[in-house]
């Protein structure tokens, strides 16, 4: 439990509440994954109202990026640093949404570790959770599966990148190596959807897909720093020059 709690020192996204939470505002992840379930409908509704998306598939792509970047970030960083796989199976994990866009808090029933290593991590983070969620968003909204998977890949990348950006940081080259180990054999062919690079001493993710956030009323035509709509060399140059890094 101490190792898990300590991860919050690197960035707010790694803060994890231990113990089954109480209150109607918490959503259990296995219920979010249910076909046509009300929990996922609620998450999409909140994001749509906060961002004013023009299409349902843009709503789905926006939601999956921030969701993947928060829901399993603690488990990803713990594996990167310690090699342990936290039990974040869907029935053991809860999320508390923000009033609008994003996830305010994550809770796990108990900070237990599962036997196994990378294959187990791929199973609990991707096969049991993020990829089924992507499939349900694809089914509901007809968002392209490659695009939705791109949001999964970008969110997972933030589980590694964010720990290099605050006052207390993890060595970026070390985390880059751990990311490459994680993504090389990740299911869903996620490795083809973007890559992590070192820029100005920090890790950044360069997407090969677009979340369409720029099409929303709130986005107002401004593309994200990692977006594939901007040439790759230009993105890296801007990051090296100190462009603010927007995190999903």
The 10s digit of each residue's pLDDT in 199-235 is 989 999 999 998 887 888 877 777 888 888 888 899 8
> Which of 100-104, 184-188, 206-210 is the most confident on average?
184-188
Residue 247 is assigned to a structural domain of this protein: no
Q: How much is the pLDDT for 144?
A: 93
Statement: residue 243 has pLDDT above 80? no
245/123 Cα distance (integer angstroms): 29
242/221 Cα distance (integer angstroms): 21
Residue 246 is assigned to a structural domain of this protein: no
Q: How much is the pLDDT for 194?
A: 95
The 10s digit of each residue's pLDDT in 117-134 is 999 999 999 999 999 999
Residue 245 is assigned to a structural domain of this protein: no
Q: Which domain holds residue 68?
A: 2-240
CB 26 within 8 A of CB 106: no
Domain holding 179: CATH number?
Answer: 1.10.510
The 10s digit of each residue's pLDDT in 58-73 is 889 989 998 999 999 9
Statement: residue 148 has pLDDT above 80? yes
- Report the DSSP pairing between strands 202-207 and 194-199: antiparallel
Number of domains in the chain: 1
Q: Which of 149-163, 184-198, 201-215 has the lowest mean pLDDT?
A: 201-215
190/183 Cα distance (integer angstroms): 7
This prediction's pTM:
0.93
Quickly state the pLDDT bin for 31 (edges 50, 70, 90). very high
Quickly state the pLDDT bin for 240 (edges 50, 70, 90). confident
Instruction: Tell me how far apart the terminal alpha carbons of the chain are, to the nearest angstrom.
Output: 26
Q: How much is the pLDDT for 239?
A: 86
Q: Which residues have C-beta within 8 Å of that of residue 201, sequence separation ≥ 6? A: 164, 172
């Amino acid at each position: 439990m101490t190792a898990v709690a300590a991860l919050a020192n690197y960035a707010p996204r790694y803060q994890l509440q231990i113990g089954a939470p109480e209150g109607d505002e918490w959503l259990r992840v296995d219920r979010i994954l249910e076909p046509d379930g009300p929990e996922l409908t609620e998450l999409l509704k909140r994001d749509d109202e906060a961002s004013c998306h023009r299409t349902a598939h843009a709503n789905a792509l926006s939601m999956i990026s921030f969701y993947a970047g928060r829901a399993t970030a603690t488990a990803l960083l713990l594996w990167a640093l310690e090699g342990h796989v936290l039990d974040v199976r869907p029935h053991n994990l809860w999320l508390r949404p923000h009033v609008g866009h994003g996830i305010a808090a994550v809770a796990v029933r108990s900070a237990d570790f599962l036997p196994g290593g990378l294959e187990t991590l791929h199973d609990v983070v991707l096969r049991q959770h993020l990829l089924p969620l992507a499939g349900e968003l694809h089914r509901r909204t007809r968002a392209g599966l490659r695009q939705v998977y791109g949001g999964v890949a970008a969110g997972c990348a933030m589980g590694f990148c964010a720990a290099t950006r605050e006052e207390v940081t993890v060595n970026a080259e070390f985390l880059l190596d751990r990311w490459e180990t994680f993504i090389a054999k990740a299911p869903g062919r996620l490795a083809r959807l973007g890559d992590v690079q070192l820029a100005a001493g920090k890790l950044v993710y360069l997407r090969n897909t677009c979340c369409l956030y720029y099409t929303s009323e709130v986005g107002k035509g401004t593309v994200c720093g990692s977006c594939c709509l901007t040439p790759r060399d230009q993105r890296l140059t801007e990051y090296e020059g100190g462009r603010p890094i927007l995190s999903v």
